[in-house]
Amino acid sequence: MIDPAFLWSTLISLLAGVPLTLKLASGSVALGAVLALPLAALRMSPMAILDWLARAYVFVFRGTPLLVQIFLIYYGLGQFRPALQELGLWTFVREPYWCALAALTLNTAAYSSEVMRGGLLAVPHGQIEAARACGMSGLLLFRRIVFPIALRQALPAYGNEVILMVKATSLASTITLMEVTGIAHKLIAETYRAVEIFICAGAIYLVLNFAVARVIRTLEHQLSPHRRDAPQRRFEPTHV
Amino acid sequence: MSYVELMGFGPNGWGPAMLTAAGVTLAVALCAFLIGGIVGVLGAWAKLSESTPARLCADAYTTVLRGVPDLLVLYLFYFGGSMALSQIAGWFGASGTAAIPAFATGALAVGLVSGAYQTEVFRGAYLALSRGEIEAARSVGMRGWLMFRRIVAPQVARYALPGLGNVWQLVLKESALISVTGLVELLRQSAIGAGSTRQPFAFYATAAALYLAITTASTWGFQRAEAYALRGVQRV
């Protein structure tokens, strides 16, 4: 029933889409993180209007499907073509790659900013007080104390977000990008062998997500020396 | 044509079509959520059971369906389903490819993905149940179904409620993917409108607003349900 030769050739064809999947995922996660930090800062700002702006952003991007966001950017912005051409932005909006990247970035920024806010709020107040008592303030305090602790606490939730983004890149195939899911769809439409192609494409995504989970876990381990066992010291006879 | 005229309820307005499509989105999401609920309860039961094969099957199910893009699962059901149906029809002498209903396939595919998430929600909720409750039920002679109905189910439902709220939001947003199979739900209807009026931004923005309205109403509904479920519990 299942033909190994077909599985192999399918896997080879699908692997050609992996670079694009990785490029979309890593690009959107990196840009999203850059955007998320100021968003989290706005959300925690004492000025109500700034907090409100960030809240509205998060509300809109978490409350609507990613596919709608992609279509809104790729097809929707076409309605304003003359204005965009005047601004010189049309070259970007015309390209499905930039549209997919923009939609994924804006989407993940909303989710990541909430993850980061959670991490920042979870920094124990005593740690900050202790740092202040040592004379740290401002950027130094943030860089040495607040950021590392917040990062460590937010990492598990952030790992989930990264895995969600790897899966979300599949939606780029709906605007003609040929990443793994796009190629899978083309192959299914050509051969109608949905099960075999699903097995291959699914295996690729599982491997990618497994790798992401491992990296996050290693990073978490690195960042929490206090939870590791103390290194075992072997007793060696001293030669006198 | 102004936006109000475009999305209004006049002779050329797309308002009724968009609202109907929002209803279809709601219906398909609800079906998927219910399918996921049934699968989730069974999955949680399998994960908590003593039998190793059941646990392994449930683990494989949740790992695969949570690790693979939903769009891929949808393609599997849509194309795989119509292929299987054609084959079965072939045995009975029919020829050609059979088309399967987009609503049912979509609800099933999204439902099975949400079932994987709901499995974890129900498992966590069961584990939150204190052992003493079950011991007390046993000590007064309750067993099996009676204990499940009177002691386990009501409390698991309460603990699971916040997690189920999250899964519902997920299902609602994933239902937009079903548009790729041709089901005329909110996103597909917007694409149709965008194509025939050449005003894509107006249509997709309206779709986004309707999704926001549905998710906001759901958040409120789940908050009410939680408040009701916690009415007898003292908050510390």
Domains of chain B: 3-229 (1.10.3720.10)
Chain A contact probe: residue of B76, B100, B177, B216 with most A CBs at under 10 A: B76
Listed residue (B65, B49, B59) closest to B115, CA to CA: B65
Question: What is the structure's pLDDT at A237?
Answer: 67
Closest residue to B212, CB basis, from A60, A67, A202: A60
HSE-CB for B186 with a 13 A CA cutoff: 30
pLDDT at B118 over 90: yes
Question: What is the structure's pLDDT at B1?
Answer: 67
B202 interfacial to chain A (CB closer than 8 Å): yes
The contacts of residue A128 (CB under 8 Å, 6+ apart) are A141, A145, A146
Q: Any idea which residue has 């920042």 for tokens? A: A120
A residues 146..185 contacting B (CB < 8 A): 163, 167-171, 173-174, 181, 184-185
Question: What is the structure's pLDDT at B235?
Answer: 65
Closest residue to A76, CB basis, from B173, B205, B216: B205
ipTM for the complex shown:
0.88
> Hey, which of A213-227, B84-98, B105-119 has the most confident mean pLDDT?
B105-119
Q: pLDDT tens digits, residue range A120-174?
A: 988 899 999 999 999 988 889 989 999 888 888 889 889 999 999 999 999 999 9
pLDDT at B98 over 70: no
Determine contact, residues B192/B231, Cβ cutoff 8 Å. no
Lookup: tokens for A54:
């960030």
Question: What is the structure's pLDDT at B139?
Answer: 93
Instruction: Say if the Cβ atoms of A181 and B71 lie within 8 Å.
Output: yes
pTM of the model: 0.88
CA distance B233 to B236: 9
Q: In degrees, to the nearest 5, what angle opens at C-alpha A198 toward C-alphas A195 and A199?
A: 90
Question: What is the structure's pLDDT at A224?
Answer: 82
Among chain B residues, the shortest Cα distance to A188 is held by B79
Q: pLDDT tens digits, residue range B153-198?
A: 888 988 899 899 999 999 999 999 999 988 999 999 999 999 888 8
Chain B residues whose beta carbon lies within 8 Å of the beta carbon of residue A59: 212
Question: What is the structure's pLDDT at B15?
Answer: 87
Question: What is the structure's pLDDT at A1?
Answer: 60
A4-223 topology per CATH? MetI-like fold (1.10.3720)
Lowest mean pLDDT: which of A166-180, B73-87, B117-131, B216-230? B73-87
Residue B161's alpha-carbon distances to B125, B158, B206, B225, in angstroms, are 9, 5, 30, 8
pLDDT at B4 over 90: no
B76 interfacial to chain A (CB closer than 8 Å): yes
Instruction: Say if the Cβ atoms of B72 and A202 lie within 8 Å.
Output: yes
Among chain A residues, the shortest Cα distance to B211 is held by A64
Q: pLDDT tens digits, residue range A70-112?
A: 999 999 988 888 888 888 888 888 889 999 999 999 999 999 9
The contacts of residue B121 (CB under 8 Å, 6+ apart) are B40, B160, B163, B164, B166, B167
pLDDT at A203 over 70: yes
DSSP conformation letters of A81-111: HHHHHHHT-HHHHH-HHHHHHHHHHHHHHHH
Confidence of residue B96 (pLDDT cuts 50, 70, 90): low
Instruction: Say if the Cβ atoms of B204 and A210 lie within 8 Å.
Output: no
Among chain A residues, the shortest Cα distance to B77 is held by A194
A residues 199..228 contacting B (CB < 8 A): 201-202, 205-206, 209-210
Separation in Å, CA of B117 to nearest CA in chain A: 13
pLDDT at A47 over 70: yes
CA torsion A78→A79→A83→A86, rounded to 10°?
A: 30
Confidence of residue B42 (pLDDT cuts 50, 70, 90): very high
Lookup: tokens for B69:
């893009």
Instruction: Say if the Cβ atoms of A60 and B208 lie within 8 Å.
Output: yes
Instruction: Say if the Cβ atoms of B187 and A76 lie within 8 Å.
Output: no
DSSP conformation letters of chain A: ---HHHHHHHHHHHHTTHHHHHHHHHHHHHHHHHHHHHHHHHHT-SSHHHHHHHHHHHHHHHHS-HHHHHHHHHTGGGGGHHHHHHHT-HHHHH-HHHHHHHHHHHHHHHHHHHHHHHHHHTS-HHHHHHHHHTT--HHHHIIIIIHHHHHHHHHHHHHHHHHHHHHHGGGGGGGT--SHHHHHHHHHHHH--HHHHHHHHHHHHHHHHHHHHHHHHHHHHHH-GGGSPPPPPPP-PPP-
Chain A residues whose beta carbon lies within 8 Å of the beta carbon of residue B79: 188-189, 192, 194
pLDDT at A28 over 90: yes
N-terminal to C-terminal alpha carbon distance within chain A: 73
